[in-house]
Structure 1
């Protein structure tokens, strides 16, 4: 199967490549054309996922297609952007029709759920890797960023933490588990749902935001640095799912929530005056700490004493916790 036949058969003809609002021209030309409403800006983010690093070599292609787009779309949620389109650069060791069919179906299912249209990309031969670029729109000056948190703000998250990391022993075959709790954790790993509606609801309310991909403490460090403030995290207030605590000891569950990564929940800072409004729109959110003058991220135990976390989060280069 040649490159162009591969693209035509599995991607150009997919439902998610049919175009949509904001897409003036999709797959089939040298460039796609996007049409933004007046007064809006384009939000762009690119992620690369590599076999053996970001997912197991033998990952189910349907689940991989879902996950690959979800983790990229989560960046749009973090900025409060409305999804528009995405591109896919796919490097494959070989063009197996069964693998491509499963991957394209998973990709398209997530794309339609997120409101994203496939508008182009590239294919090449090599070790399996996926590079996705997502594009969204946001009112000019209205995007959420990591800068802007202020002393006195509340530190919040969009839902339970640690589920993706808690699923990893199951994904890697290090542990066997069956039943509803295992199914829940595996779904949170393979099909995380980008918090797009929450991100849009936070525009004009939150002072800073990002999505949690490398671990709560590590990612909160980005807000602290960009905003020039200190974030205090109350460990006793971390929202843990019943599935996570049922399958793992509490110490391990807390480590997953603090430093495991793969959550794809939003972490955001919020003036206390906005709390009731956001809770009304997103009841599963949780307040987990506060913003103070100072710098860095600080972890408190249930007595209010500061803890020294052994690991901050995932890093591709350098030792963990650097």
Structure 2
């Protein structure tokens, strides 16, 4: 991988606020390829917004460096100003100019372009976001979803190297958020734009991003695809935060690993040979089977349309989760047959 293919490089980046002992961002490294969409995901206070602000140029690093399109942008005591980074930012509140029309908002960052070029670029983006009929309206005359698309178009207008999105869907209702997540991804891909989204919503991250970075306490715990984070988590925190699951005690046997739900045959050399460890069990690892001799009792249920998410109590009192087609509508307290269908064995020491 050459620097020419990279929109962003973050290397060993640390950020302290007011010389505090605890770093808000601690030794974070990752890179983003041209045209790739990434997401920084984690709980509130994990450092993801601080990292995004540093990439935008609003915060100086204590250690490490940031390169944008191969050019040095941030080092300790040497930071390129935000307006010189060729980076677009979409804020949580959109920050549209209320006195400017949709078209004029989109054209705002194009003051160095001639009038014909500005109009052509605005027309191109209005078509891309599907708001050509609303070009002469003002922000207060638009819905929240429309305002969000205008904010994105304004950020895209100067053709920046990188777009940064700071929780842009957090003020929208669930249905609109889901629809706009897919729309924004399509717009970014159509523009061949590199982007980083900050969110605490993993469903948003899964729908939007090619690469996801999970953060906690200022550290980047894992960087990879949604598939690898779900099926190959490298830490207990990532396993617990991504998707849904529970941990059951396990012990090593001659044929594999034994848990309360049964024995899992595996010869994976990466699995622990001895000692105390837990096995991650996802809802899709538990199959509802009326013919199974193994029983579990329904203690909670959540209807999701096509399926139920059941919380099931095992004989030991431990709970597991199971996704079950919604025509299997079992009552709270009812025992049901289950069987284990575990393809990815993931263990963590205690």
TM-score category, normalised to shorter length: under 0.3
TM-score (norm 1): 0.25
Identify the structure with the greater helix proportion: 1
Higher relative contact order (CA 8 A, sep 6+): 1
Larger Rg: 2
